[in-house]
Amino acid sequence: MSGIEITTPLHVRRRLRGRRLFEARILPALFLLPAGLFVFGLTVWPVFRAFQLSFTDANLAMFTTGEFNYVGLNQYVSVFTSTFFRSVILRTAVFGIACVALTMTVGISVSLLLNRDFKGRTVLAILVILPWAVPRVAAAIVWQWMFHDQFGLMNWLLYSAGFELFRGFAWFNQPVIAFTAIAIVIVWQSFPFIAVSMLAGLQSIPGEIHDAAMIDGAGAWQRIMNITLPMLKSLVLVLTVISTIWAFKIFDQVFVMTAGGPARQTELLAITTWREAFTQHNFGRASALAMVMFFILAGITAVYLRLIREEEA
């Protein structure tokens, strides 16, 4: 490149220098501008705004008359002193962790299955992706129909298999059972991503390593636990963190399947926040709840970023 400059006339060189300046300084700034505007205007600034609102008593009057007052930490105090809000936070965490554990187990198992050599493997690989593609609302709806107490496929399958209890069984009467049904939907939708990502990882492991382990007499289970998974440790960790973040954000499936019922016992943090804002009009407290969620997720994200950095190093 430097060769060109030496042999070019002065005015061309000057033009080239101007171009270089444009290309080195102005162009990147120009190209970053729209995306930067979107990211700052629509995510960074709103987070600050939510933070600000969480110290106010903003309600519907904020919109009609524009008035609201700063109430310090009152909203946070009311969140953490209320047994209801505390139990919502706790159940969001417990349910989230349970979903992640299930998703990872199912996802990794399916990836191991797909890594075996059998006829129809490619077909299965495509079928497994489908649940990921189904929109969350549609997925929740079809599963809700399958869990219908009177006409549901699940109850029919279960009582046909000899479990009389499931004749007319109401899946959404008790929170634990309702959460089980919701967890099945969540896992159904999130295991494909784990399975496909893990499969890519598995296929990157050279076959010789397995062969060597076979010679040493390691069984299939031992090979998976002692060789395969440790080799993919960082991938597994990253996937775990990603699915944890997803699990904490769950809204749609619960909103469609139970809307938080019965008796608000299946409300997760996202739903409670929404309800506090849009049916109770308590935008201040809703913002405080949202910030609680933000800090939890920020913590998990920090772990995620550290994992990625280690991976890069």
Q: Residue 242 interacts with other proteins (CB under 8 A)?
A: yes
Shortest Å, Cβ 31 to other proteins: 4
Q: Residue 100 interacts with other proteins (CB under 8 A)?
A: no
Q: Which of 98-116 are b and which e, b meaning 16 or more Cβ less than 10 Å from the residue's Cβ?
A: bbbebbbebbbebbbebbe
Shortest Å, Cβ 53 to other proteins: 6
Choices 5-13, 72-80, 221-229, 266-274; region in contact with other proteins by CB under 8 A: 266-274
- Of 11, 35, 162, 221, which lies in the binding site for other proteins, with binding defined by CB under 8 A? 35
Q: Residue 74 interacts with other proteins (CB under 8 A)?
A: no
Shortest Å, Cβ 98 to other proteins: 18
By C-beta, is 182 or 269 nearer to other proteins?
Answer: 269
SS3 content of the chain, % helix, strand, coil (to 5): 75, 0, 20
- C-alpha to C-alpha distance for 115 and 202, rounded to whole angstroms: 7
Sign (positive/negative) of CA torsion 194, 184, 137, 295?
negative
Query: 72: which DSSP letter?
Result: T
By C-beta, is 98 or 274 nearer to other proteins?
Answer: 274
Q: Residue 264 interacts with other proteins (CB under 8 A)?
A: yes
The interface with other proteins within residues 209-238 (CB under 8 A) comprises: 210-211, 214-215, 234-235, 238
What are the distances in angstroms from CA 104 to CA 115, 165, 193, 202, 251?
Answer: 16, 30, 10, 15, 20
In 3-state terms, what secondary structure has residue 242? Answer: helix
Q: Can you say whether residue 264 is alpha, beta or left, with left for phi > 0 and alpha for psi between -120 and 50 degrees?
A: left
Q: Residue 196 interacts with other proteins (CB under 8 A)?
A: yes
Q: Residue 53 interacts with other proteins (CB under 8 A)?
A: yes
Shortest Å, Cβ 164 to other proteins: 14
Shortest Å, Cβ 44 to other proteins: 7
Q: Residue 306 interacts with other proteins (CB under 8 A)?
A: no
| C-alpha triplet 30, 35, 38: angle, nearest 5° | 130
Q: Residue 110 interacts with other proteins (CB under 8 A)?
A: yes
> Structure tokens of 255?
């909103």
By C-beta, is 228 or 273 nearer to other proteins?
Answer: 273
The interface with other proteins within residues 115-174 (CB under 8 A) comprises: 116-118, 120-121, 124, 126-139, 141-146, 148-151, 153, 156, 168-170, 172-174
Residue 269 CB neighbours (<10 A): 25
The interface with other proteins within residues 9-28 (CB under 8 A) comprises: 19, 23, 27-28
Choices 49-57, 67-75, 95-103, 222-230; region in contact with other proteins by CB under 8 A: 49-57
Q: Can you say whether residue 169 is alpha, beta or left, with left for phi > 0 and alpha for psi between -120 and 50 degrees?
A: beta
